[in-house]
Amino acid sequence: MGDDLKNLARLQLTEDRISEASKTRDELVIAVEAQGGTLKDLLRKRNEVQDRFDDAKREWREIEESVETKKAELKKWETRLQGLQDWREQQALNSAIREQTRTIGYGENDANEKVSVVEELETAFNTAQEALETAQSKSASLSNELEKQNGLTETALKVELEHREALLAVMPDTDRRRFVSLVASIKRRPARAVVIARGGICGFCNVSMQPQNWIEVQRQEKVIYCQGCRRAVVHETVMAAGVELEA
């Protein structure tokens, strides 16, 4: 089996690992960004509920204070009534006291209604706060994971890129140039530049190979390129040998 063929198989396997190592990191970057959006939404919701909760509490306190003030006034008026001799003044104050008592009753009703609103908003606030905190901790753990993965990816890529260079360095010039330019021209990752043929058919583009080329592939001595997709075509035993060498 030709060494150039085995090197090509190993280059493809290295290419696969390079994109695999980058993929995990790239997926994490997307996940971190998505989580950032979720966090922003939850924070906005929590703040909205908090504002409404604060407003409701303030309104409730204002009603309570106004009721207390009116009750204090009422007490004074009742005391004053005891000392009044004039019938007309008694009548007027009595009428004012009745009116004040009614107003206090309405105020107490308002305060009770406000209390249920405050309680509902408190529950809503707690729920929103909890959701926010859960999202914050998920966000923190994703960022942590990404930071770790960045390190791992960097290390893995450094090793793999060095390995790739070493493999390329021992390739014949034309095969090296073809491999590098093919990988660069393929947008999908992992880039498939070296493919397996079975039964004379390219495993990538399914084009039938010329009989002489298929014979060469089976001989496993020199590099054959597919006439359909321009990729290097190897026998499956060559790829298997590459897997063994890369292990």
Note whether 99 and 66 are within 8 A (CB). no
- Least separation, in Å, of the C-beta of 236 and Zn ion? 15
- Least separation, in Å, of the C-beta of 17 and Zn ion? 23
- Least separation, in Å, of the C-beta of 214 and Zn ion? 12
Assess 204 for contact with Zn ion (CB under 5 A): yes
- Least separation, in Å, of the C-beta of 163 and Zn ion? 26
- In the chain, what is the greatest distance between 2 CA atoms, to the nearest angstrom? 131
Q: Please, which residue, 204 or 214, has the CB nearer to Zn ion?
A: 204
Site mask, Zn ion, residues 145-184, x = CB under 5 A? ----------------------------------------
Chain-centroid distance of CA 101 in Å reads: 59
Q: Please, which residue, 93 or 205, has the CB nearer to Zn ion?
A: 205
Q: Please, which residue, 56 or 202, has the CB nearer to Zn ion?
A: 202
Q: Which of these segments, 81-89, 104-112, 159-167, 201-209, binds Zn ion (CB under 5 A)?
A: 201-209
Site mask, Zn ion, residues 206-245, x = CB under 5 A? --------------------x-xx----------------
Candidates 205, 208, 220, 246: give the one binding Zn ion (CB under 5 A): 205
Separation between Cα atoms, residue 229 and residue 88, nearest integer Å: 111
Candidates 13, 21, 193, 202: give the one binding Zn ion (CB under 5 A): 202
Among 205, 188, 185, 187, CA closest to 197? 205
